[in-house]
Amino acid sequence: MTSINTSTTVPASEGRTEWWRDAVVYQIYPRSFADADGDGMGDLRGITDRLEHVASLGVDAIWLSPFYTSPQNDGGYDVADHTDVDPRFGTLEDADRLIEVAHSLGLKVIVDVVPNHSSSEHELFQRALAAGPGSPERDLYIFREGRGENGELPPNNWHSIFHGDAWTRVTEADGRPGQWYLHLFDTTQPDWNWDNPAVHALHADILRFWLDRGVDGFRVDVAHGMAKPEGLPDSPVGSDGMAVVPEGEVPVYFDNDGVHEIYREWRKILDEYPGERMMVGEAWIPERSIPKYVAPDEMHQVFNFGFLQARWDTAAMRRAIVEPLRLADQVGAPTTWVLSNHDVIRHATRYGFPPDHRFGEGLSREETPDAELGLRRARAATLLMLALPGSAYLYQGEELGLPEVADIPDELREDPAHKRGGVPGRDGCRVPLPWRADAPGYGFSPTGASWLPQPGSFGLLAADQQAGVEGSTLEMYREALRLRRALKLGAHGASDSVSFSDDAPDGVLIVHHGPVTIVVNTTPDPVTLATLPVDHEATVLLGSAPIEAGCVPGDAAVWLAADGAES
């Protein structure tokens, strides 16, 4: 048996619970959760009305993707005013009410902050355009002269994450083509210049605005992006002259050390407030960088995307558990686990791509992953995740086993990655949720309207079809979360270790954590518990598929514990 020590726990000082260390956080994507006003776009009142569903799962917190004023060119990640609510989603009063109701249900509230870029409709960007080259207004963003004889070439060779150039040239007041501005994402998302102290001050005010309204934390968008390398050097290029990113690395504009100064600043702001406010970073960084982001004076957590990227393979999964635990442990931070979010192919579909596992750029109509297999494995992976120490992030609809939707007409797709790069994009994981099988729009909105079409398969998966049904994905999540809480499975240091059975047969992962043993059978064939190196007297607490006659079916997982572990 191989153990890894996870016992480095920063002692909670008097009165502090450090609630975020083992919290299960449910991500709400406001456009697609629930629509109260019937326009087909989810809204804050819709969310508030459905918070009991979220609370009934047994999670600790919600994270709300952006609901701020925005032209919605990137689903709200193009913010025109961080301190107001987009009329599509409601009003500031609706946000206050949502926070109040969530708190009354015992749910903490995390909101998104999007500091790498703003919308091009942000008043300050509009002023920068009007003010012209060399002005203090332009210095809030990253404007540069172009290369080439007449400045006709972009200032460097950086590519946008959403495909195409990361630079757009503006037309100056005299009508001539002028400077270029940087946008690591869409043209409508200009990057802020974090070398300018005014940008720091502006964001400090945004944090305070929401902290004053009672939020418990922030999910920091593109947390590895704000600090650009000195002189904006070109990316390395391959033999074809195209920019390349070496395997395991990130583009030159990500993961620069300057971001850490920002988080130290923000941590001080959070710590001024009572109630243990926290930050979790969305940072697609090489694993080795994790400890820097979660140092005691920076972020509380970063998403551990290695787990999400791991294939359905015992060695890959084991590595994706061991490494982040070891790295976060170096600085006394908890790790996080996540399988789905609004940017990746839903895990119920992802695991249906044997043998390869693909998570980015969406699902095309031509691809036909095995839906049944995908869901079986997704349920098993979820059980594995929810038994691990640290904090877990769930994405709305995964508790219903929702698949990625491939069948969205191109003209209805909104993802800028689709529009710029022709890839299917991320709309397939953002389709509005089914609440009731027999209602128009499956209960998403009172009128049946839905900003993206819902597939027929959503009927059987609707929340009302699964509630109270033994073995449904919804009830499996509820039971797993109940047991996780009762057995304190999220706690770091509660058991001191996660360990693996090295003598497990091929294709079977056996993980021991605290009072539970998790058996994940990645093979298509059943395995008999009696043949495995586990406690044969142990009780089956929960299975991702029915566990009959001591057999773990193929592509399934089970939690085992000694009798009485729950008491």
Catalytic residue among 221, 276, 323, 427: 221
- Site membership for ligand NOJ, residue 222 (CB under 6 A): yes
Q: Report if residue 77 touches ligand NOJ, rule: CB under 6 A.
A: yes
Binder among 94, 221, 404, 427 for ligand NOJ (CB under 6 A): 221
Residues 6 or more apart whose Cβ sits within 8 Å of residue 460: 437
Beta strands 61-64 and 81-85: pairing type? unpaired
Q: Which of residues 310-369 bind ligand NOJ (CB under 6 A)?
A: 342-343
Rounded to the nearest whole angstrom, what is the least distance from the CB of residue 326 to ligand NOJ in the complex? 26
For ligand NOJ (CB under 6 A), the number of binding residues is: 9
Residue type, 544: S
CB of 221 to ligand NOJ, least distance (A): 5
Task: Return the number of the residue (113 or 481) whose C-beta is nearest ligand NOJ.
Answer: 113
Q: Shortest gap between Cβ of 74 and ligand NOJ (angstroms)? A: 5
Give DSSP secondary structure letters for 467-491.
TT-TT-HHHHHHHHHHHHHHTTTT-
Cis previous bond, 505, omega within 30: no
- Residue 29 CB, shortest distance to ligand NOJ, in Å, is 9
- For the chain, give the longest Cα–Cα distance: 82
Instruction: State which amino acid sits at residue 104.
Output: S
From 191, 282, 298, 404, residue interacting with ligand NOJ (rule: CB under 6 A): 282
| Residue 257 vs residues 185, 226, 282: alpha-carbon distances, Å | 21, 10, 16
**Nearest of 347, 327, 331, 329 to residue 339 by alpha carbon:** 347
Asked if 255 is part of the footprint of ligand NOJ (rule: CB under 6 A), the reply reads no
CB 307 within 8 A of CB 385: yes
Torsion angles phi and psi, residue 27, rounded to 5: -85, 130
Pairing of strands 108-113, 167-171: unpaired
Question: Residue 532: is it exposed, middle or buried by C-beta count within 10 angstroms (0-12/13-18/19+)?
Answer: buried
Catalytic residue among 272, 372, 548, 566: 272
Interaction between residue 298 and ligand NOJ (CB under 6 A): no
Is 414 a catalytic site residue? no
Query: Does residue 404 belong to the site contacting ligand NOJ (CB under 6 A)?
Result: no
Q: CB of 509: closest distance to ligand NOJ in angstroms?
A: 29
CB-closest chain residue to ligand NOJ: 77
At 269, list the tokens: 């702001």
Report the distance separating Cα 21 and Cα 44, nearest Å: 27
Work out whether 414 is an interface residue with ligand NOJ (CB under 6 A). no
- 221 a catalytic residue: yes
- Taking residues 185 to 204 in sequence order and writing x for each that binds ligand NOJ by CB under 6 A, - otherwise, the string is x-------------------
Shorter beta-carbon distance to ligand NOJ: residue 318 or 418: 418
CB of residue 277 to ligand NOJ, shortest distance in Å: 21
> Which residues carry out catalysis?
221, 272
Which residues bind to ligand NOJ, rule: CB under 6 A? 74, 77, 114, 185, 221-222, 282, 342-343
